[in-house]
Amino acid sequence: MAERETAAALLDRVAAVVARRGDLVLTRRELHYRAGRWPLVRVASRALDETPRVLLVLAGLHGDEVAGPITVASELDHLAERAHARGLGVVVYPLANPSGFDAGTRYNADHDRGSAGNGDFLRYLREDGSVVDEVEPSPTPRAWRWSSELGVPLPAETRALHELLTRDPLERVVAALDLHQDLLTQGVGPAAYAYSFGDTSVYRDVVAQARALVPLLANRAIGAGFGVQIDERGRAVQPEGDAGAPTSDADGFVVRHDGSLTDLLYRLGAPYSVAVETTGATPLDVACAVNRVWLDGLLELAGSAAPRRA
């Protein structure tokens, strides 16, 4: 197996693209762990304040899912070029969990998953007054709050993302893409699927292109990340069985209101919000190709979307 790129090397590639182009800005926030310090990097369009429509891309929230960060680092130049040509602004978090990336773990190098994993962006308030991290598609919950507003324990990278995202122009985001890999579901071959909401027929062309690369995980109970625990070495352990797990449709779409970034952007009214998954059996180059198809597809949709406010 080829030696894996370090977080520092990957972020150097990102910084080189930003330095070469004049139309992006890069900011770094230092994340402090017992295991050391890592930078959380955010890249955004220099003209972000003037762009009525914004594309938000996040990758590498789960540290061992390397395909997303590799895709984003390789595609950033192309992404900025195409987005800016369409009058779109971009906000990109190329490596959301850099210490986990270096440690090769789902969660961070301290094995801190907070109380509900590091993809903990919102909590729901139910009619009976209880606060939960996941709800069924119906009935509509009474309300929701950012998890950080409720003071729940969050890992350092998630806390930092909350602080940065609340200052991002989320009200102008027309499309959001969160890149993952499903390294938890056992017994499946190379395949892709996606978490999304509402009318997924808008993604018809993207689905056709993804399907040409790899089978789609259709009509299957998908329990990945459902009730995950971590062991003493920080490895994620998926409980046996699919009880209560949502099922994908014929095009491999899964609806899940789990308080994730995708769910947050959906609740905030972004017309397009998708989390892309490829299975662990999918070769890395194919996983990256699927990510590219989704990146290009959402860019296209965002480019023809109406601004969300006049």
Q: Distance between CA 195 and CA 266 in Å, rounded?
A: 11
Judged by CB, which is closer to Zn ion: 53, or 106?
106
Stretch of 3-11, 64-72, 141-149, 211-219 contacting Zn ion, by CB under 5 A: 64-72
Judged by CB, which is closer to Zn ion: 60, or 297?
60
Pick from 82, 172, 180, 308 the residue near Zn ion by CB under 5 A: 180
Burial 167-182 (b: 16+ CB within 10 A, else e): ebbbebbbbbbbbbbb
Pick from 42, 53, 62, 111 the residue near Zn ion by CB under 5 A: 62
Asked if the peptide bond before residue 190 counts as cis, ω within 30 degrees of 0, the response is no
Judged by CB, which is closer to Zn ion: 180, or 292?
180
Place of tokens 């590639």: 13
Stretch of 46-54, 65-73, 134-142, 165-173 contacting Zn ion, by CB under 5 A: 65-73
C-beta of residue 161 within 8 angstroms of C-beta of residue 176: no
Question: What is the per-residue binding string for Zn ion in 198-227, x denoting contact by CB under 5 A?
Answer: ------------------------------
CA angle 41, 266, 143 (to 5 degrees): 110
Q: Least separation, in Å, of the C-beta of 62 and Zn ion?
A: 4
Q: How many residues bind Zn ion (CB under 5 A)?
A: 3
Q: How far is CA 37 from CA 8, 93, 110, in A?
A: 11, 17, 11
* 266: CB partners within 8 A, 6+ apart: 197, 198, 273
Residue numbers 107-126 binding Zn ion by CB under 5 A: none
The reply on whether position 84 binds Zn ion by CB under 5 A is: no
Stretch of 133-141, 177-185, 197-205, 233-241 contacting Zn ion, by CB under 5 A: 177-185
Q: Least separation, in Å, of the C-beta of 87 and Zn ion?
A: 31
The token duo for 160 is 């930092």
Residues that bind Zn ion (CB under 5 A): 62, 65, 180
